[in-house]
A = this chain, B = another copy of it.
């Protein structure tokens, strides 16, 4: 057992025995390093473990406190198993401490999952929303229930034609953002206990969805330069009764990697051979820096097995919560699930977005947005070269707004996250993108915000933290 685990166990015993009642402030890190003769990072890791176990909670800039309900029985102490077997997923409160920091206006949002809201045509959108709502037929509250507002779905189908996909309007279901689309797809094709294939690293919400639905996940490695490992996937499909795959094909979160056209075609063929549905998360596809939009895997689907999920949250209308799925043969099942679990996507929002897509100049806005993100990528790369240690590795993404940094092996991304947050900077630590909290030396950096002296200074601080002896 490592030292930090031993320390965590000791403190857990104290808490469970009631010697540290709920609400008690825990000793400072400095105090514990002295008391136990251990390094700061050992104390931090022990605290993260206690936090994961639900025994303590951090209050930012104030310290750690014994959490409500900390008197519960101890969790099974076994370490996460190696990658081979499908496992039920237990995503800890880790994710939330990261997400909560995103809302703090005083924190530099390098850890945000969103681009700056200032990059979006919110005024033009509000005009469309006002216009469409003023014109709303009262009966649209019934008529626009799932599959959704028809003019909107026709506008979306037109955009598929732009990608070379003849997308039947009937198979398009409007959802509350892509998040709901993805969850509905997963619900439609699995039952609790089923095995699904996800990426590693992957979007953390996929981990949580898999957890909530009682599924087991087999993780397929994603290389930051090559993307999904199709050989491992093929092996997993042979070995396990995989009921669905949830993959991000373009500008993957967190690595930023895009599958080549050949690999997309091979992926679709492989899954078709096994009759396994693909839930394709393509929320970043429109944010390409090259001339053409990378096609989704859906473009190569001839059997209706690919459910292509996307939204306008990253490209047009953050906070509106407007997404959809092109659901192939699962369209009717998903429409019914949507009706049953969330009744409908907001009717005024659907009508407003339909109006914007028809009259608002979406493509012009997209060109501007892509230009801004590309410029910000450049500024971020310059800052990395200037401020961060040279041994940091990353692949340059051709779109989106994430950089996946592989830090030197000894760096603890969780510690870096905590230290950075204490200095008013949010970065997303690698372990939240993995069911097993792997990628302990990686962080995801967001370049979706217009460059500022604040960002520059945050990068400088990160460099200092990375160079400091831990």
Contacts and interface: CB of A to CB of B under 8 A. Distances in A.
Interface residues of A, number: 62
A319 B138 CA distance: 9
Interface string A181-210: 001000100011000000000000100110
Interface in A95-143: 95-96, 99, 102-103, 105, 112, 114, 116-118, 120, 122-123, 125-126, 129-130, 133-134, 136, 138-143
Contact of A95 (B105, B179, B340, B347): B340
Given A114-B141, A117-B138, A319 B347 contact: yes
A105 B176 CA distance: 25
Contacts of A151: none
A348 interface: yes
Contacts of A179: 341-343
Nearest to A191: B214
Protomer copies: 2
Interface in A159-183: 176-177, 179-180, 183
A339 B143 contact: no
A424 interface: no
Given A103-B143, A142-B103, A126 B133 contact: yes
Contacts of A105: 139, 143
A272 to B, nearest CB: 17
A455 interface: no
A276 B176 CA distance: 31
Nearest to A214: B192
Given A96-B339, A349-B348, A142 B130 contact: no
A345 B318 contact: no
B183 A341 contact: yes
B319 A144 contact: yes
A30 interface: no
B117 A336 contact: no
Contact of A346 (B143, B321, B336, B343): B321
19 contacts: A105-B143, A116-B138, A117-B139, A117-B141, A117-B142, A118-B138, A122-B138, A176-B346, A179-B341, A179-B343, A180-B342, A192-B192, A209-B341, A212-B341, A319-B346, A321-B344, A321-B346, A348-B349, A348-B352
